[in-house]
Structure 1
Amino acid sequence: MAATYRALASVVMLIGFYVVALLQLAAVAALGVWLYSHSNALVTGKLLLPLVIALGAVAVGLWRAIRTKNEPAPGLVLDERDAPQLWAIVRELATAVDTRAPDEIRLVPEVNAAVGEQSRLLGLIGGRRTLYVGLPLLQAMRVDQLRSVLAHELGHYSGKHTRLGGVAYRGRLAIEGTIERIKPRNPIGLVFKGYSKLYLMVDNAASRRQELEADRASVQLAGHEAATSALRTLPALDAAWNFFMGRYVQSGWQAGLAPDDLFGGFGRLIQARREEIDELQQEVPDRKPSRWDTHPPVGIRIDAMAQLPAGTVAADDRPAHTLLSDVLEAGRRLQSLAVDHDNRQVLPWPEFTHAAIAAGVQRQVDGIYRAAGRFTGTSEPGLTTILDLVRDGRLGEFAEQFFGDVTPEEAAARFTGPMERLLVNAAVRAQRARWALSWGSPAQFVGAAGEPLDLADIAKLAVSAQTLDEALARLAELGVDPGNATVVQRRATADNAGVIGAIGNVKIDDVEHDLLILDRGLVLVGGPGKAGDGEKRLKDMLESTPVATLAARHQFLPYEEMVSVNVTKQIPLRAELTLHDGRVIAMKELFGSVLLERRSRDNLLRVFERINED
């Protein structure tokens, strides 16, 4: 019933979308006739042009929706040799729910499972079926839990939910494509945006009913415990995957590195942190529904499962990855297919971890070295530059810029933390220390023989002229020469920078630019074009090109090169940026300037405040 309802709703509302468009077209035509009879062709054309453009966007959206094919998502196709037991379970479950088994099983790099069908004639004729299974599920779940997940997905086939996926997909595509092409201030756009929200509300409500319907198969074919524990596992596993990517992968990826066995690493993390993942599963599941969700909250689904009759199913606590012939090989093959390394250096996990952390520390100390270069006028600053300041009693004067409103004496004492990072970097550069990978805890800093190495005590000695020689002697014992630790990146870049705002058509020294506001600096893009296209232009620019590339291609002003900012007016923004090299840059926001987001100007003003505080 839910499937039929969704089909009817999707088709009727998609037709309704274009009925609305035709009605508006008729209204525009009538308005055009009336205007032409009461004015001239020029006035009529100027008034109707935005409306005609908006209706043209409707036609483009429809054409795009009709021509777009709902192709299978990329992944590793598993044949019988790769996963004989998995195929056997899938066929068994398909028979149990009285549906045709999928034509292929694809392994995907997601904490998810899904089904798809390339149906025709609005779902009236079935097509090729694909079952998608996330490798993280196989790595973390028991066999009976995965059985529950698979039964749920095959339940979608049994309920003929997938046949209508193409209808819903094309409906969303047509409406989204139309909205994208209509400018925010166009009155016709307001009507279509309202209709799109209504469409999503109706379609999502039907989708939620389908999920509850498919949950019946989970309980019947896997039992209450396996079905509910599988549901609890999914958010915990999703959190573990995000932790893995953020803590173990992201920093190295941003540094131009890649691990040679991405999914194998995740499998080892799951084994090492099983207790933490189990604790996450015990958290109270979410029960707060939203009209915009395609799935009911986990808590509501668990409550509904408790009311369903369960079949007699024996528990199977084998690791789900045993359903594959070789999970490690499958992970490596999936990585080669689904992960774009983009010229990154591929390293084994131990080397990847060390290189990733070392690159991050080098980036941090380079900022300190550049500041020391500006302070002393040294063109090749390094650790010896800082240590010379200590010996000359000028460390506090230099360090004030890092700690705000403190005395030079306080700044020198508080410089122990940055000094430790400088010494860590020096030890790594001397190849006398490294970071050792640990799946159950943070990476450990160790010496040449693998023993834990703590340089905090030496750092305390190194910030005082009275104990500096002792610090140098202890560094020499470790085989660390401060002279070899120098700046690598002589000027700050936008590598790995985040975008916190953008303003289109801002005058920089009386020349119009698009202004990209990063968390590390400003990118000034010359020749921006018309102000009316500013928002779309900024979005397209940021979506199509990495900010690091934009910064390299255009003028980049790192915040660390700014001495002060004099804001003479906040709205529209007027400011003068004074740089360390003596230049003064005038910034002037125009009345026609466009904010990418409402907070873009506010974020920039906060950055200016921090610069002045420093």
Structure 2
Amino acid sequence: MSATYRALASVVMLIGFYVVALLQLAAVIALGVWLFGHTTGLITGKLLLPLVVALGAVGVGMWKAIRTKSEPAPGLVLDERAAPGLWATVRELAASVGTRAPDEIRLVPEVNAAVGEQSRLLGLVGGRRTLYVGLPLLQAMRSDQLRSVLAHELGHYSGRHTRLGGVAYRGRLAIGETIERISPRNPVGWVFKGYALLYLMVDNAASRRQELEADRASVALAGTEAATSALRTLPALDAAWAFYMRRYVESGWSAGLAPDDLFGGFVELLDARRDEIDALRENAPEREPSRWDTHPPIGVRVAAMTAAAPTTAGADDRPARTLLADVGGAGRQLQALVVAHGSRRVLPWPEFVAESVAADVQRQADGIYRAAGRFTGTPTPGLSTVLDLVRSGRLGEFAEGFFDGATRKEAAAAFAGPMETLLDNAAVRSGRARWELSWSGPARLVGPGGEPWDLAEVAKLAVVPASLDEALARLAELGVDVTGATVVQARASARNADLIGGLANIKIDGREHDVLVLDNGLVLIADPGKAGEGEKRLTTLVGSVPVAELAGRHPYLPYEEITSVEVRREVPLKATLTLFDGRTVQMQELMASEFLEKHSRDTLLKVFRRING
């Protein structure tokens, strides 16, 4: 019933959207007639043009929505030989909920499961069905937990949610396309945006009801314990996947490397950090319901499951991965299908981690070396440059820039931390140490025989002039060449940088630019395009290309090269940036400037305050 309600509501709301458009068209025509009788034709045209353009966007949005085809998401299609257990389970569950089994099962790289149907005639005629199963679910869940997830998804089929969901999808698409094409300053757009919010509110409420309906199938066919535990496992597993990608994959990926078994590594992490993941599952924070959510909060869903008549379907604590004939091989096939390695070197996990961490430590060392080069005027700085500062008693003066509020004496002592990074880097570059993979904790620095190397004590000696020679003697005994550790990247890059804001159509040294604000620098895009389209242009730009790639295409100004910022006016922004080489950069916000998000100017001002200390 909820599926019919959702489709009907979507159709009615979508019709209402275009009724609003027709009413506005009638209002524009009436306004045009009145204006033509009281003003010149030129003035009438200028006043009506933006309204007519906005109404034209309605037609374009509807046309694109009608023509859009829902294609299956990319993934590995699993046949009977690859997943005999999974297919048998899916067919059994489909029969139990009284629905037709899917035509194909696709393995996907997300912590998620979903169903789709390519229906026709607004859902009156069914079409090809696809069940999507996230490989991380198969890797992490018990068989009965995965059974509950599959029962939930098949419950969407039996409730006809997918059959008529295409209507809701096209409604969202049509309204979204329309809103995107109307300028934020156009008054017609304000009416449509308000209506779009109403549409989403109604459609999302229906979607939440459908999720609760599908949950009933999950409880009935897998049991209350399996269904509730699977539901609570999902956010913990999602957090574990995000941690895995951030901690183990991303740094090597940005350094031009790729692991040879991306999904196999996740299994290793799950096995090594089982206790941590269990704690995440048990202590997941409850989230308040929101009218904008398409799914009810997990707490609400669990409460509904436990309030229903308890069921005790047979427990099955076997790993869900046994439902595939070869889960490791499937993971490697999936990686080949959905991961674009480009020119990256593909390495086994031990080598991937060793080179990834070494590259990251080199990046940290380069930042220190560049600072030492600016401080001393040395063109090719390295570890020797920093050690010379120690010997001459100037380390505290140099280190003040790394520790806000510290005295020179305090900064020199605290520099033992950065010094350890420099010594680790020198040990690896000397070929005497390497980084060893650990799935249960950070990578470890080990020596030639695999013995742990800890240079923290040597680093403490190396920041004190009186004990510097002892530190150098110990390093020599270990075979570490301090003279070979020099800067590799002479200028900071945007690798591993995060986007934190954006400003469109602001003047840089008198010339209009779009400016992307990263957490370590500014990307300056000259002659970006006309004002009035800046927010849309920035959104499209950052959604299509990684910021590191944009920083490679356009002038990039790292914050570390800015010595001070004079903000002469905050709103609209007017500032002078002074660089370490003596050059200045003038920045001026215009009345027509737009922001990627509304706090972008405030974010940039915070960066300027941080630069000024």
TM-score > 0.5, shorter chain as reference: yes
Q: Name the SS for the 2:532 alignment partner.
A: helix
Q: Distance in 1 between matches of 2:523 and 2:63?
A: 37
Q: Name the SS for the 1:528 alignment partner.
A: coil
Q: Does 1:191 align with 2:187?
A: no
Partner amino acid for 1:108? V
Tell me the TM-score normalised to structure 1 length. Answer: 0.97
Task: Give the deviation of 1:312 after TM superposition.
Answer: 5.6
Matches within 5 A, 1:521-532: 521-532=521-532
Q: Distance in 1 between matches of 2:234 and 2:588?
A: 50
Q: Distance in 2 between matches of 1:283 and 1:375?
A: 48
1:588 maps to what in 2?
588
- CA deviation map 1:503-548 (0-9, x unaligned): 2222222222222222212222221332222222222232233322
Q: Name the SS for the 1:445 alignment partner.
A: strand
Q: Does 1:168 align with 2:187?
A: no
Q: Distance in 1 between matches of 2:497 and 2:86?
A: 43
Q: Distance in 2 between matches of 1:116 and 1:218?
A: 18
Q: Distance in 2 between matches of 1:406 and 1:144?
A: 57
Q: Distance in 1 between matches of 2:66 and 2:213?
A: 30
Matches within 5 A, 1:239-388: 239-283=239-283, 286=286, 288-309=288-309, 313-388=313-388
Identity percentage of aligned residues? 73
Task: Give the deviation of 1:138 after TM superposition.
Answer: 0.7
Q: Name the SS for the 2:191 alignment partner.
A: helix
Partner amino acid for 1:319? P
- CA deviation map 1:551-572 (0-9, x unaligned): 2222222111112222222222
Q: Distance in 2 between matches of 1:27 and 1:53?
A: 14
CA contact (8 A) 1:535 1:594 kept: yes
> Per the alignment, do residues 284 and 398 of structure 1 end up closer, same or farther by CA in structure 2, a change over 3 Å counting?
closer
CA contact (8 A) 2:183 2:532 kept: no
Q: Distance in 2 between matches of 1:500 and 1:71?
A: 33
2:83 maps to what in 1?
83
Comparing 525-534 and 176-185, the one that deviates more: 525-534
2:137 maps to what in 1?
137
Partner amino acid for 1:249? V
Q: Distance in 1 between matches of 2:285 and 2:594?
A: 42
2:72 maps to what in 1?
72
- CA deviation map 1:210-241 (0-9, x unaligned): 11111121122111111111111112211211
CA contact (8 A) 1:251 1:360 kept: yes
Task: Give the deviation of 1:397 after TM superposition.
Answer: 2.3
Task: Give the deviation of 1:586 after TM superposition.
Answer: 2.1
Tell me the TM-score normalised to structure 2 length. Answer: 0.97
Q: Distance in 2 between matches of 1:399 and 1:313?
A: 64
Aligned length: 613
Q: Distance in 2 between matches of 1:145 and 1:266?
A: 19
CA contact (8 A) 1:287 1:300 kept: no
Comparing 180-189 and 240-249, the one that deviates more: 240-249
Q: Distance in 2 between matches of 1:230 and 1:375?
A: 56
1:541 maps to what in 2?
541
CA contact (8 A) 2:85 2:323 kept: yes
- CA deviation map 1:424-481 (0-9, x unaligned): 1001111211221111222222222111111011111111221111111111111100
CA contact (8 A) 1:576 1:584 kept: yes
Name structure 1 gaps, 5 residues minimum. Answer: none
Comparing 55-64 and 585-594, the one that deviates more: 585-594
> Per the alignment, do residues 168 and 443 of structure 1 end up closer, same or farther by CA in structure 2, a change over 3 Å counting?
same
Q: Does 1:218 align with 2:198?
A: no
> Per the alignment, do residues 283 and 395 of structure 1 end up closer, same or farther by CA in structure 2, a change over 3 Å counting?
closer
1:606 maps to what in 2?
606
Partner amino acid for 2:492? A
Partner amino acid for 1:376? T
1:479 maps to what in 2?
479
Comparing 541-550 and 177-186, the one that deviates more: 541-550
Q: Name the SS for the 1:467 alignment partner.
A: helix
Structure 1 outlier segments of 4+, above 4 Å: none
Q: Name the SS for the 2:465 alignment partner.
A: coil
> Per the alignment, do residues 210 and 417 of structure 1 end up closer, same or farther by CA in structure 2, a change over 3 Å counting?
same
Partner amino acid for 2:283? E
Q: Name the SS for the 2:58 alignment partner.
A: helix
Task: Give the deviation of 1:139 after TM superposition.
Answer: 0.8
Task: Give the deviation of 1:260 after TM superposition.
Answer: 1.0
Q: Name the SS for the 2:568 alignment partner.
A: strand
Name structure 2 gaps, 5 residues minimum. Answer: none
2:122 maps to what in 1?
122
Partner amino acid for 2:226? A
Q: Distance in 2 between matches of 1:581 and 1:455?
A: 35
Comparing 537-546 and 241-250, the one that deviates more: 537-546
> Per the alignment, do residues 218 and 537 of structure 1 end up closer, same or farther by CA in structure 2, a change over 3 Å counting?
closer
- CA deviation map 1:385-426 (0-9, x unaligned): 111222222222222222234433332222111111100100
2:62 maps to what in 1?
62
CA contact (8 A) 1:221 1:310 kept: no
CA contact (8 A) 1:219 1:309 kept: no
CA contact (8 A) 1:99 1:157 kept: yes
Q: Does 1:572 align with 2:569?
A: no
CA contact (8 A) 2:236 2:284 kept: no
2:53 maps to what in 1?
53
